[in-house]
Chain A
Amino acid sequence: MADDSLAPSLVGRLVRRAASGVSELRHTLRNEPIKFAILIGAAILLATLVGWPLGTLFWKGFQVKGDGPLTLDNYISVFQEGGLIDALENSLYISTWTTLFSLILAVPMAWAVARTDMPFKTLITAASAATFVVPSFIVVISWIFLLGPNEGGITLFLESIGLKLPFRIFSREGLIFVLTFHLYPLIFHTLTSAMANMDASYEEAAGAVGAGKLRTLWSITLPLMLPALVSGVILVFLDSLALFGAPRAIGLSGRFHVLTTKIYVLFKHPPRFELAAAAALPLMAFTVVALWLQKNILGRKRFTTVSGRAGAVRPIELGRWKWAMLAFCLAVVFVSLALPVSTLVVSSFLSSWGEPISWENLTVESYAIIADSPDVYSAVSNGLRLSFSAATVCVLLAVAIVWLVERTEIPGRGLLSFLAMVPFAFPSVALAVGLILIFIHPPFDIYGTLWIIFVGYVVKRIAFAYIFARNALKQLAPEMEEAARVLGAGWLRTMGEITLPLLKGGLAAAWVLIFSISLRELTMSILFYLPGTETMAVIVFNYFEDGTFEVASAISVVILLISFVSVYLVKSIIGKGVQEI
């Protein structure tokens, strides 16, 4: 039978692969101890930070009440839960459309910014990164007040000119709208960083054959960008699946569940964390499918566009169309950033929130209150420090892991990919619980300090850095590194002088995204925080919960300004470097 012969040959191949991997490991240890230490150190770090907490959660899932005898009941009960299928359907519906609409916004924007002579590119890039800084719960609050059916600003405006909103904010479509404008930067940034690296000669070749600009974009640029496109799509799809804040706010009012809100319901009241891992299984399944798809769509082809045959990157001249492109980009930025932020700015200057805007109702009192609160200063400092270090560590760790996965045959690479990706779509609440379970005990007793928040950010967002670094490394021909090795450079020096500088575009994009998304992180921060470890988002959240909306808005505005300025600074510093190439 065919099966009989297939199995042993497959086993044999796996065994040979493992053997060759082990022998590579042995050689590396003997000949290149520094490389060995860094790569294996990174692998161990990832296993500790991700594998250990999640593994513990899964183990608890097999126990009655989390520490009793072994059982499968938890897993069975989760899948027997009514409504799980409906929630799954809603999640898929919302994530699919969010991804599609994000593509429609992000692809033209990315192309215009990375490949054409459209003006104000840095502004567009920084603005779309800043979109990411706005905490989701604030975005949702803003949109509800803009699009609310009774008193929403935009709703009323449209009614005054005889128009109607095409959808209800409290519905699945409303959520798709909010998520699209919240998440499109993920595709935009993966694409711009990849396009900036592209060998322009491909496009020029197409131009020489007489293909028009659109045709070139469609048939040359986009296929070459396939890895970045797939990654962006995966990021948006998984992130929209994994988001909790926005679906909860809108889902409740719109009377529907998605996977995350359903999971939350499952282990709330009384909290049953032993169910968390089981309940997160569907989300993890999507991560695995996404990884598998990515590997199989892209695995066989080579997409090295930084091949060592350097070609001058000449921006495509758009002529009059550049103003149309700019208008489109500005419109997206306006809707995604300016509109929600403007409602915050207005609120922050009101003395009585909820009342109409008038001279009597305007004040700067809220800002005076902030200036007097030391906890705002410490939260800003905490937020910046945490985000800065989380972004840096994520990027460095991801480079080491990606290099190990892409450039070696060391066994267990698939597992490392999985570990880097799985927390991304893992519900933050459950992730936080897993981290507490591990990092409350010696030798890693960091609960209650900034360190556990830092670990949380790194674990949750390593996937960004991983995907960006992997795309960038896939684009980079191995010969670039080999050329340095031949000339006598060791691994570390090659990484420092050749690899990292050439990956800079992709890594910078990942860094900025992680930095901004960490600035706004709430779900884990609020579970972890103790005196002295408040972050910006926690402070804003607490002010909102206390009902002091004007002050909350004012703090949000200040935090947004700080974040926007830091993202803009980082972007322009890195941007300069990228253009040198």
Chain B
Amino acid sequence: MVSILRILGVILLALAIPVAGWAADMGAIQRAANKEGTVTWYSNSKKKVNQKVAKVWKKAYPKIKLRHVRKGTGNQVPTVEAERMAKKVRVDVMNHTDPATFLRWGREGFLASFNAPNDKKLPAEFVDKDHYYRAVSIYLHPGVYNTKKVKAEDVPKKLSDMVKKKYKGLTVSATPRTSGVEFPKYLTAVNRYGWEFVKGLADNDHLLQKGQGAVLRMVLKGERPIGVGNTSYRIWGAMKKGRALKPIFYEDGTVMITVNLGTPKAAPHPNAARLLINFLISKKIQKLMVKNHFYSARGDVGKPKLAPALSSLKILKADNEQLIKARGPFFDKFDSYFGMK
């Protein structure tokens, strides 16, 4: 009896899921989501930001429990892949900083297509054409330096300055192999300056770290006062707390990274997942993201306080196709310049 009801329920829910490409009927989705009662969200954002989002969510959808889990990109992707391999996905909504993985997930048929009403509010370049994913936030990957250890006149202006002898033994960055953010930066750099750039860094006693947090620690501590790149929201967050840091927006261009947002086809709470996606790119939440030092793709929510207008900067974007294709060989070659076969 119970199982028949369950099957009926599943059928009803399935009917409630709208056909791809069509703007969704959020009313029906919300009713179905209320029945699901819960939604699990893996987010790479800080726990504090997630908690603020959850507060707003609780007011808006009191019947649906938002279980938010802070999982950095490096841990999130393996977790999701493991669930996927076990053929029992537990996550409903995920966002992380590795656009190429979202592109791959879409192509492999892992993601559900969902034309969220709020997708319309985002510029086309920030929404996947099949609506598998969209940008929940944007950040930049400028250089960073310790203002107490580096004099203003000594600050590098261009990314290509980093290979100058002057900066020997002073620079640090995360390896593209484990820090998803670094890959687009190094890919664009190699596209522009060739592998000479990477070789130059390696010969300049450049220090590699595993992630963005570790890079910022090195810069703050002064062990390596110049970071070749770090996430803009981290830099501004630290500056707001009074840390002696400043970003370097390179004259030869600063890479932009989108944090994408999507839901698996096999999500256990498909309707609640869709509700959450639309919610996360709503004006209210996007304003919240901006307050926490992220740029928003939406035009109607302004920019982070410490951030320059995007239009004032030379912005670089890596090509997703190239990100997927170049990946393995690129990492191998990168490692080999650093003496790691």
Which residues of chain A have a CB within 8 Å of any CB of chain B? 60, 66-67, 82-83, 86, 141, 144-145, 148-152, 170, 248-249, 251-253, 255-257, 264-265, 268-271, 273, 352-355, 375, 429, 432-433, 436-437, 440-441, 447-448, 526-527, 529-531, 542, 544-547, 549
Assuming the A-B contacts A441-B86, A441-B88, are A545 and B213 also in contact, with contact meaning beta carbons closer than 8 angstroms in the complex?
Answer: yes
Proximity bits, B33-59, A CB within 8 Å = 1, else 0: 000000010000011100000000000
Return the contact of B213 from the options A144, A432, A547 (Cβ within 8 A).
A547
Which residues of chain B have a CB within 8 Å of any CB of chain A? 40, 46-48, 67-72, 75, 77-79, 81-83, 85-86, 88, 90, 101, 104, 146, 148, 169, 175, 177-178, 207-214, 216-217, 220-224, 234, 237-238, 241-244, 327-328, 331-332, 335, 338-341
User: Are A433's CB and B78's CB within 8 A?
Assistant: yes
Quote the shortest CB–CB distance from B178 to chain A (angstroms).
7
User: Are A270's CB and B223's CB within 8 A?
Assistant: no
Q: What chain B residues lie within 8 Å of A547 (beta carbons)?
A: 213, 216, 234, 237-238
Return the contact of B69 from the options A141, A152, A441, A531 (Cβ within 8 A).
A531
Return the contact of B90 from the options A86, A251, A440 (Cβ within 8 A).
A440
Assuming the A-B contacts A253-B208, A549-B217, are A436 and B82 also in contact, with contact meaning beta carbons closer than 8 angstroms in the complex?
Answer: yes
Quote the shortest CB–CB distance from B121 to chain A (angstroms).
29
24 contacts between A and B (CB under 8 A): A83-B341, A144-B223, A145-B223, A150-B169, A253-B208, A256-B339, A257-B341, A264-B178, A270-B77, A270-B104, A352-B241, A353-B220, A353-B221, A433-B78, A436-B82, A437-B86, A440-B83, A440-B86, A527-B78, A527-B79, A531-B69, A546-B47, A546-B213, A549-B220
User: Are A145's CB and B221's CB within 8 A?
Assistant: yes
User: Are B222's CB and A527's CB within 8 A?
Assistant: no
Assuming the A-B contacts A249-B210, A273-B81, are A545 and B72 also in contact, with contact meaning beta carbons closer than 8 angstroms in the complex?
Answer: yes
User: Are B69's CB and A265's CB within 8 A?
Assistant: no
User: Are B82's CB and A527's CB within 8 A?
Assistant: yes
User: Are A542's CB and B338's CB within 8 A?
Assistant: no
Q: In the bound complex, how far is the Cα of B76 from the Cα of A294, in angstroms? A: 40
Assuming the A-B contacts A83-B340, A273-B82, A542-B70, are A150 and B217 also in contact, with contact meaning beta carbons closer than 8 angstroms in the complex?
Answer: no
Assuming the A-B contacts A268-B178, A544-B213, are A255 and B339 also in contact, with contact meaning beta carbons closer than 8 angstroms in the complex?
Answer: yes
Cβ-closest chain A residue relative to B216: A547
Cβ-closest chain B residue relative to A527: B79
Cβ-closest chain B residue relative to A447: B90
User: Are A273's CB and B69's CB within 8 A?
Assistant: no
Quote the shortest CB–CB distance from B305 to chain A (angstroms).
17
Quote the shortest CB–CB distance from A87 to chain B (angstroms).
8
Q: What chain B residues lie within 8 Å of A375 (beta carbons)?
A: 47
Q: What chain A residues lie within 8 Å of B71 (beta carbons)?
A: 526
User: Are A253's CB and B207's CB within 8 A?
Assistant: yes
User: Are B177's CB and A268's CB within 8 A?
Assistant: yes
Quote the shortest CB–CB distance from A349 to chain B (angstroms).
16
Q: In the bound complex, how far is the Cα of B151 from the Cα of A112, in angstroms? A: 54
Cβ-closest chain A residue relative to B105: A270
Quote the shortest CB–CB distance from A532 to chain B (angstroms).
8
User: Are A527's CB and B75's CB within 8 A?
Assistant: yes
Assuming the A-B contacts A252-B209, A433-B78, A531-B67, are A273 and B85 also in contact, with contact meaning beta carbons closer than 8 angstroms in the complex?
Answer: yes
User: Are A249's CB and B214's CB within 8 A?
Assistant: yes
Q: In the bound complex, how far is the Cα of B268 from the Cα of A447, in angstroms? A: 14
Return the contact of B211 from the options A355, A432, A526, A545 (Cβ within 8 A).
A545
Quote the shortest CB–CB distance from B208 to chain A (angstroms).
4
Q: What chain B residues lie within 8 Å of A60 (beta carbons)?
A: 85
User: Are A151's CB and B82's CB within 8 A?
Assistant: no
Cβ-closest chain A residue relative to B332: A82
Across the A-B interface, the 6 shortest Cβ-Cβ residue pairs = A83-B341, A354-B220, A271-B81, A148-B223, A255-B339, A545-B213
Quote the shortest CB–CB distance from A521 to chain B (angstroms).
14
Q: Which residue among A252, A437, A529, A531 has the maximum number of chain B CB atoms within 10 Å of its CB? A: A252
Q: What chain B residues lie within 8 Å of A150 (beta carbons)?
A: 169, 222-224
Return the contact of A432 from the options B82, B169, B238 (Cβ within 8 A).
B82
User: Are B68's CB and A531's CB within 8 A?
Assistant: yes
Q: In the bound complex, how far is the Cα of B243 from the Cα of A527, in angstroms? A: 31
Return the contact of B207 from the options A170, A353, A549 (Cβ within 8 A).
A170
User: Are B90's CB and A448's CB within 8 A?
Assistant: yes
User: Are A355's CB and B244's CB within 8 A?
Assistant: yes
Q: What chain A residues lie within 8 Å of B222 (beta carbons)?
A: 150-151, 354
Q: In the bound complex, how far is the Cα of B82 from the Cα of A67, in angstroms? A: 13
Q: What chain B residues lie within 8 Å of A255 (beta carbons)?
A: 208, 338-340
Cβ-closest chain B residue relative to A65: B85
Assuming the A-B contacts A269-B327, A355-B244, are A526 and B210 also in contact, with contact meaning beta carbons closer than 8 angstroms in the complex?
Answer: no
Q: In the bound complex, how far is the Cα of B243 from the Cα of A134, in angstroms? A: 27
Q: In the bound complex, how far is the Cα of B328 from the Cα of A352, in angstroms? A: 39
Q: In the bound complex, how far is the Cα of B80 from the Cα of A527, in angstroms? A: 9
Quote the shortest CB–CB distance from B203 to chain A (angstroms).
12
Q: In the bound complex, how far is the Cα of B328 from the Cα of A401, in angstroms? A: 44
Q: What chain B residues lie within 8 Å of A248 (beta carbons)?
A: 178, 210
Q: What chain A residues lie within 8 Å of B335 (beta carbons)?
A: 265
Cβ-closest chain B residue relative to A245: B210
Cβ-closest chain A residue relative to B71: A526
Q: Which residue among B46, B79, B328 has the maximum number of chain A CB atoms within 10 Å of its CB? A: B79
Quote the shortest CB–CB distance from B85 to chain A (angstroms).
6
User: Are A437's CB and B82's CB within 8 A?
Assistant: yes
Q: In the bound complex, how far is the Cα of B198 from the Cα of A255, in angstroms? A: 14
Q: In the bound complex, how far is the Cα of B178 from the Cα of A264, in angstroms? A: 9
Q: In the bound complex, how far is the Cα of B83 from the Cα of A558, in angstroms? A: 34
Q: What chain A residues lie within 8 Å of B48 (beta carbons)?
A: 546
Q: What chain A residues lie within 8 Å of B207 (beta carbons)?
A: 170, 253
Q: What chain A residues lie within 8 Å of B237 (beta carbons)?
A: 547
Taking A148-B221, A352-B241, A437-B82 as known contacts, 10 extra A-B pairs with beta carbons closer than 8 A to each other, sorted by chain A number, are: A150-B169, A255-B339, A256-B340, A268-B177, A273-B81, A433-B82, A441-B88, A447-B90, A545-B212, A546-B46
Q: What chain A residues lie within 8 Å of B211 (beta carbons)?
A: 545
Quote the shortest CB–CB distance from B103 to chain A (angstroms).
11
Quote the shortest CB–CB distance from A578 to chain B (angstroms).
41
Quote the shortest CB–CB distance from A348 to chain B (angstroms).
15
Q: In the bound complex, how far is the Cα of B335 from the Cα of A222, in angstroms? A: 45
Q: What chain B residues lie within 8 Å of A354 (beta carbons)?
A: 146, 217, 220-222, 243-244
Quote the shortest CB–CB distance from A76 to chain B (angstroms).
17
Cβ-closest chain A residue relative to B172: A253
Quote the shortest CB–CB distance from B58 to chain A (angstroms).
14
Return the contact of B85 from the options A66, A145, A549 (Cβ within 8 A).
A66
Quote the shortest CB–CB distance from B111 to chain A (angstroms).
14
Quote the shortest CB–CB distance from A189 to chain B (angstroms).
30
Quote the shortest CB–CB distance from B313 to chain A (angstroms).
23
User: Are B83's CB and A436's CB within 8 A?
Assistant: yes
Cβ-closest chain A residue relative to B48: A546
Q: In the bound complex, how far is the Cα of B12 from the Cα of A314, in angstroms? A: 78
Q: What chain A residues lie within 8 Å of B101 (beta carbons)?
A: 270
Q: What chain A residues lie within 8 Å of B169 (beta carbons)?
A: 149-150
Q: In the bound complex, how far is the Cα of B88 from the Cα of A545, in angstroms? A: 29
Assuming the A-B contacts A150-B169, A249-B210, are A437 and B85 also in contact, with contact meaning beta carbons closer than 8 angstroms in the complex?
Answer: yes
Q: What chain A residues lie within 8 Å of B217 (beta carbons)?
A: 141, 354, 544, 549
Q: What chain A residues lie within 8 Å of B234 (beta carbons)?
A: 547
Quote the shortest CB–CB distance from B323 to chain A (angstroms).
10
Q: What chain A residues lie within 8 Å of B216 (beta carbons)?
A: 547
Q: What chain B residues lie within 8 Å of A145 (beta carbons)?
A: 221, 223
Quote the shortest CB–CB distance from A538 to chain B (angstroms).
9
User: Are A526's CB and B82's CB within 8 A?
Assistant: no
Q: What chain B residues lie within 8 Å of A544 (beta carbons)?
A: 213, 217
Return the contact of B177 from the options A170, A269, A440 (Cβ within 8 A).
A269
Q: In the bound complex, how far is the Cα of B184 from the Cα of A171, in angstroms? A: 28
User: Are B208's CB and A252's CB within 8 A?
Assistant: yes
Cβ-closest chain A residue relative to B101: A270
